[in-house]
Amino acid sequence: MRVLLLEDSLALAGAVSDYLEVRGCAVELAFHGQAFLDLANAAEFDVYVLDVAVPGIDGLDVCERLRTQMHDETPVIFLTARDTLQDKKAGFARGADDYLVKPFEMEELFFRLQALTARGRRPLVSTQVLGEVMLDHGAGIVVRNGRRIRLHELQLRILKILAARSPLTVERAVLEKELWGDNMPDSDALRTHIYRLRNALTTPGERELIETVHGKGWRFVG
């Protein structure tokens, strides 16, 4: 089980990580919200464990961004000292699957993680609307301002990856790995495909939808 933990207490993060690793889990740690989102964007995990009161982007906003912006349906459990009914209601409203109040038993946390991962991810939403663009992931249909756009298979795959993580930046290495795995093309094929995708998405007078983040990668701005 691959676990990504958001917890700003070094002592608690270490204790949870040590226990879960003894139980056979692989645990990555993030101590503030943006670090968590960057890790979630860069790799695949089986379950997310979120504290609420963390520096920067709090756990509630992290969960909401996972669901609404990144379209990430990995199971989420909140692990927090906030114990009122309103606190729990807020957590589930932002997209949580479970909620465990501190202090807690490590074994109970592990059993809850097992249950969440056994259920698997939520069904992915087929249709995604990002500003002027509607993307039907299942049918492979792209529409901008009422105009249907026909894309080649690889261009469509690039768009799906960027849109799923919008507005976050997708690093070049992540894109290349998802598109080609270990069979990388010899030339700078990715840049060429993104250039063609931009041209297909944009007509004269329309703004660009794919931004280059120099030295990192690209992001879809919708």
CATH classification at residue 210: 1.10.10.10
Are 86 and 180 contained in the same domain? no
pTM of the model: 0.58
Is there a single domain that holds both residue 44 and residue 137? no
Q: Are residues 32 and 112 in the same domain?
A: yes
Q: What is the pLDDT of residue 126?
A: 64
Query: Do 40 and 109 lie in a common domain?
Result: yes
Q: Region 144-158: what's the mean pLDDT?
A: 91
Give the pLDDT score at 49: 98
Residue range 207-217: mean pLDDT, rounded: 93
Whether the predicted pLDDT of 27 surpasses 90: yes
Q: What is the pLDDT of residue 124?
A: 52
Last residue of a domain, one of 84, 119, 154: 119
- Please indicate, yes or no, whether residues 14 and 115 belong to a single structural domain of this protein: yes
Verify that 26 and 60 share a domain, yes or no. Answer: yes
Q: State pLDDT tens for residues 48-81.
A: 999 999 999 999 999 998 987 788 889 999 999 9
Structural domain harbouring 136? 127-220
Mean pLDDT of the region 115-136: 77
CA 122 from chain centre, in angstroms, equals: 13
What is the average pLDDT across 73-96? 94
Which residues touch 47 (CB under 8 Å, ≥6 apart)?
A: 1, 2, 3, 4, 74, 75, 76, 77, 113, 116, 117
